[in-house]
């Protein structure tokens, strides 16, 4: 009978020809050598369960996620090996590994990325009463290929010295001529903005969304940003009056985790949740070639449950699937009304959204 150490080694033996891909991967780690619960009891079934190991490929990269995997191991005796990397690298790796992939679960951030993995056939559809119950219908795939685990909000940050925060109530307000020269936007390569535009297309139709994009682009005087945090800093310094960012970035700055300077800058910002707000997710599904699909479902059920999900969300200053959680920094931002748009629909419109952004000046 192979020892668990041997199993682990076999699990993570790099696939032939994946050296180049391997170079882009950020980290490979097990979650430690926690003895499985039940192992010491010496009962047959407990030992059999303790030997189950699942692989998780995750596009998230937050240290605190590890703690939840450990909790899952302690509860179930199922070992979790996690590989964290950029989403593109994970998808390429899954495709090249095919049936030999050690991954049972794929975790991705944003509707556009979940849609890409779904299109490439990397998930298998699964059904679970717990997931049907715990994951709201608009935050999961209709065919059970992926399920939402946490929510994030595309918010507006305002520099009150430049713009009165009370004048920004909806995304439409960002296109008003009053903000000429004052709006900062991230570029269209960001899935976050692609998904935002896709949600506007679904809610308001193509013509209104085109007009909205043109109005916003006309308000931009700075070059388009390549990520949310530098954009937030620019607003805090008064280089712009208003910007669009995911609120967890501001929460991270406020926490001091990113340094005293970012904390001080974030204190200059007012976070405005628009009503309704565009909400995106981290989602997970069982991989097409999972060796332990049942154990994989158990992990996803745990992460999506109110207990697991809350921890997963708070790790990155995100929101749980329902309610607003207990994160004291997020509480400062107040609450929001989600627009309720189906994340599956957002994913399927993200390419059309990108084309619309491109043809209307969104760099
Ligand atoms: Fe992010």
What does 134-150 look like in DSSP terms, one character per residue?
Answer: HS-GGGB-TTSS-EEEE
In whole angstroms, give the CA distance from residue 345 to residue 170.
21
pTM of the model: 0.85
Distance 35 CA to ligand 1 centre (A): 34
For residue 175, report the distance from its CA to the centre of ligand 1, in Å: 24
Distance from the alpha carbon of residue 81 to the mean position of ligand 1, in angstroms: 23
- Token pair recorded at residue 346: 């957002």
Query: What confidence score (pLDDT) does residue 63 get?
Result: 74
Using CA atoms, how far apart are residues 274 and 342, in angstroms rounded to an integer? 18
CA of 300 to the centre of ligand 1 (A): 21
Of all residues in the chain, what percent are helix, strand and coil, respectively (each to 5)? 50, 15, 35
Q: How far is the CA of 104 from the centre of ligand 1 (A)?
A: 24
Distance from residue 6's CA to the centre of ligand 1 (Å): 36
Q: CA distances (Å), 303 to each of 151, 243, 263, 320, in order? A: 13, 32, 30, 10
The rounded distance, in Å, linking the Cα atoms of 271 and 332 is: 9
SS3 269: coil
Measured in angstroms, how far is the CA atom of residue 123 from the centroid of ligand 1?
22
The CA 269 to ligand 1 mean position distance, Å, reads 18
User: Pairing mode, if any, of strands 147-158 and 242-246?
Assistant: antiparallel
CA 230 to ligand 1 centroid distance, Å: 12
- Distance from Cα 245 to the centre of ligand 1, integer Å: 9
Distance 307 CA to ligand 1 centre (A): 23
Q: Which of 94, 34, 32 is nearest to 59 (CA)?
A: 94
- Judged by phi (left if over 0) then psi (alpha if -120 to 50, else beta), residue 68 lies in alpha
Distance 292 CA to ligand 1 centre (A): 29
Cβ-proximal residues to 228 (8 Å cutoff; 6+ apart), any chain: 186, 190, 192, 245, 246, 249
CB 62 within 8 A of CB 315: yes
Q: Which pLDDT belongs to residue 50?
A: 52
How many angstroms does the Cα of residue 258 sit away from the middle of ligand 1? 14
Cβ neighbours for 23, distance < 8 A, ≥ 6 positions apart: none
Report the separation in Å between the CA atom of 152 and the middle of ligand 1, taken as the mean of its atom positions: 9
User: What average pLDDT values come out for the chain (363 residues) when binned by 10 residues?
Assistant: 33 35 37 31 42 94 85 95 95 96 96 94 97 98 97 97 97 98 96 96 98 98 96 98 97 95 98 96 97 97 90 87 93 96 96 98 97
Distance from the CA of 61 to the center of ligand 1, in angstroms? 10
What's the CA-to-centroid distance between 63 and ligand 1, angstroms? Answer: 14
Query: In angstroms, what is the span from residue 344 Cα to ligand 1's centroid?
Result: 19
Residue 281 CB partners (closer than 8 Å, separation 6+) = 109, 110, 111, 114, 139, 148, 149, 150, 151, 152, 343
CA of 60 to the centre of ligand 1 (A): 9
DSSP-H helix ranges across 135-257: 191-204, 206-219, 228-236, 247-255
42 Cα to the center of ligand 1, angstroms: 44
Angle between helices 247-255 and 228-236 (to 10 degrees): 70
CA of 210 relative to ligand 1 center, distance in Å: 25
Q: How far is the CA of 143 from the centre of ligand 1 (A)?
A: 26
pLDDT at 39: 31
327 CA distance to ligand 1 centroid (A)? 18
**285, 314, 304: which is closest to 133 by C-alpha?**
304
In the chain the domains, ranked by start, together with CATH numbers, are 39-151+280-314 (3.40.190.10), 152-278+326-359 (3.40.190.10)
Give the Cα-Cα-Cα angle 117, 62, 308 (nearest 5 degrees): 80
H or E element that contains 84? strand 79-84
Distance from Cα 45 to the centre of ligand 1, integer Å: 41
What pLDDT is stored for residue 61 in this prediction? 78
113 Cα to the center of ligand 1, angstroms: 12
């Amino acid at each position: 009978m192979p020892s668990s150490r041997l199993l682990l080694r076999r699990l993570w033996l790099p696939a032939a020809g994946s050296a180049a891909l391997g170079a882009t991967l950020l980290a490979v780690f097990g979650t430690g050598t926690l003895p499985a619960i039940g192992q010491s009891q010496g009962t047959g079934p407990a030992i059999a369960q303790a030997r189950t190991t699942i692989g998780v490929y995750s596009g998230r990269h937050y240290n605190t996620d590890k703690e939840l995997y450990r909790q899952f191991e302690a509860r179930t005796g199922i070992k979790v090996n996690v590989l964290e990397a950029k989403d593109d690298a994970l998808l390429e790796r899954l495709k090249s590994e095919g049936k030999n992939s050690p991954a049972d679960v794929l975790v991705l951030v944003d509707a556009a990325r979940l849609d890409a993995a779904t299109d490439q056939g990397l998930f298998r559809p699964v059904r679970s009463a717990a997931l049907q119950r715990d994951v709201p219908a608009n935050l999961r795939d209709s065919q059970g290929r992926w399920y939402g685990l946490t929510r994030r909000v595309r918010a507006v940050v305002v520099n009150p010295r430049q713009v009165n925060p009370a004048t920004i109530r909806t995304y439409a307000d960002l296109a008003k001529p009053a903000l000429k020269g004052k709006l900062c936007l991230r570029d269209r390569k960001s899935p976050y903005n692609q998904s935002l535009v896709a949600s506007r297309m679904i809610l308001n139709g193509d013509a209104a969304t085109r007009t909205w994009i043109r109005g916003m682009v006309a308000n931009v005087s700075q070059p388009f940003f390549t990520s949310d945090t530098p954009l937030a800093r620019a607003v805090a310094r008064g280089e712009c009056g208003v910007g669009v960012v995911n609120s967890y970035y501001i929460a991270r700055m406020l926490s001091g985790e990113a340094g005293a300077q970012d904390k001080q800058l974030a204190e200059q910002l007012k976070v405005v949740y628009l009503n309704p707000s565009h909400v995106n997710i981290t989602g997970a599904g069982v991989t097409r070639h999972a060796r332990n699909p049942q154990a994989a479902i158990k992990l996803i059920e745990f992460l999506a449950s109110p207990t697991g999900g809350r921890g997963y969300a708070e790790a990155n200053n995100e929101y749980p699937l329902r309610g607003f959680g207990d994160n004291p920094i997020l509480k400062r931002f107040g609450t929001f009304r989600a627009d309720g748009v189906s994340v599956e629909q957002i994913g399927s419109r993200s390419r059309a959204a990108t084309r619309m952004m491109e043809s209307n000046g969104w760099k």
